[in-house]
Amino acid sequence: MSFEPVSSEGDQVHYQCIIRTATGLEAGRLVSEWSENGGGFTDRFTARWEQESAGLLRGRFTFMLNPALGELGRVGLQAVIDPCTQVEWFGRGPHEAYSDRTAGARLGRWRASPAELVTPYILPQENGNRHESRWLRLVYPDGRTLYITGAAPFDFSLSPWSDRELWEARHWDVLPEFKAAAERGLYLNLDLAQRGVGTATCGPDTLDQYRVYPGIHQYELIFMLP
């Protein structure tokens, strides 16, 4: 799920909420409104922001998803951010992990470059998720850092390619090279829930306890700029 502004009128900004299925296909778009003077997305999504001190911003997010949507690939936030040079986190690592693939990913403090977060499967697809993260720190070339933590563990991933680019590509060589793609910005996903992977290509599909369904989903994140 992601939100993109489509128009504005006075202090009202109209957004479209893009919802994608577990396979990356776009499942639908919901147009909502955001009031710059303290309102929120109506009907489907609410975000409450509180600036607790200089450089510290707390966000509380509620997703109210219609059961008609069916099973979901993920629930969370996506943003395009400036390219960073290093990523540090405390959670599952050092390699990718999903809710049903955690046995080989140890809980600890890890560090990697954005390029090292990518898992290049033979067929380009969703990849690089870091599961059960307690905090995340992005380090920029000029020394700036962005620190993100949650009231509960969260998942994150960072990629120079959009979900659509990965879904439509049949081979890696048709995607922009990593460095060139990253210059456009990096896609940062901060997820409170993400569907497990399963083994449907050569075995059973994802077990029910690792699936994500519509309903009310809530989480809280804190953003800090030291």
- Give the domain ranges of the chain: 45-224
Model confidence at 40: pLDDT above 80: no
Range 180-189 average pLDDT: 95
Instruction: Pick the range with the lowest mean pLDDT from 14-23, 111-120, 185-194.
Output: 14-23
**In this predicted model, what pLDDT tens digit does every residue of 45-101 receive, in sequence order?**
788 888 888 788 898 888 888 787 788 889 999 999 999 999 999 999 999 999 999
Query: How far apart (Å, rounded) are the C-alpha atoms in residues 184 and 188?
Result: 13
45-224 is classed CATH 1.10.490.10: no
Record the pTM: 0.79
Looking at residue 66, what is its pLDDT? 79
Looking at residue 68, what is its pLDDT? 78
